[in-house]
Amino acid sequence: MDIDLYTALLLRGSTRYDEVLEDSTAVTGGPQALQAALRRLVDRGLLSASGPEGREYVPVNPEAAESLLATEFLGQAYRTAVCLLKMREELAPAIAAHQDRNPRTGDGYTVHKGIADIRAAIRLSVRECQREIVAFQAGGARRADDLADAQPDTVELLDRGVEMKVIYQHSARSNAAVRRYVRTAQEHGAQVRSLDESFESALVFDRQVAFVPSAGDRGTVVELRLPPVVSFLTGLFERHWRRARPFTPPGRDSGTLQITDELELAIMRYVVAGEKDSVTAQHLGISVRRCQDYIARMSRRLGSRSRAQLGYLIAKSGVLDREPPSRCQVLEPV
* Model pLDDT for residues 10-59, shown as the tens digit of each residue: 776 656 656 666 555 555 666 777 778 878 888 877 887 776 665 677 77
pLDDT value for 333: 27
Calculate the alpha carbon distances from 9 to 12, 17, 65, 162 in Å: 5, 10, 16, 44
Residue 301 phi, psi dihedral angles, 5° rounding: -70, -35
pLDDT at 260 over 60: yes
- C-alpha 123 chain-centroid distance: 10
Considering only CA atoms, which of 197, 198, 168, 195 is closest in space to residue 183?
168
pLDDT value for 323: 45
Considering only CA atoms, which of 171, 172, 144, 174 is closest in space to residue 262?
171
Helix residue ranges, H only, the chain? 2-12, 17-22, 30-43, 62-101, 115-128, 144-159, 176-187, 227-243, 254-272, 277-284, 288-302, 307-317
- C-alpha 190 chain-centroid distance: 8
The length of the chain, given as a count of residues: 334
Choose the weakest-confidence range: 6-10, 101-105, 247-251. 101-105
- Strands 191-195 and 163-169 turn out to be parallel
pLDDT value for 328: 28
- Strands 163-169 and 132-137 turn out to be parallel
Considering only CA atoms, which of 267, 271, 278 is closest in space to residue 313?
271
pLDDT value for 15: 67
- How confident is the model over 222-232, as pLDDT tens digits? 899 888 999 99
Q: How many CA atoms lie within 13 A of 83 on its CB side?
A: 6
Residue 113 CA to residue 210 CA, distance in Å, equals 16
Choose the weakest-confidence range: 7-11, 274-278, 314-318. 7-11
pLDDT at 309 over 80: yes
- Strands 191-195 and 245-246 turn out to be antiparallel
Let me know: does 155 contact 147? Beta carbons within 8 Å. Answer: no
pTM score, two decimals?
0.54
Q: What angle do the packed helices 307-317 and 254-272 form, to 10 degrees?
A: 120
Contacts of 313 (CB under 8 A, 6+ apart): 302, 303, 304
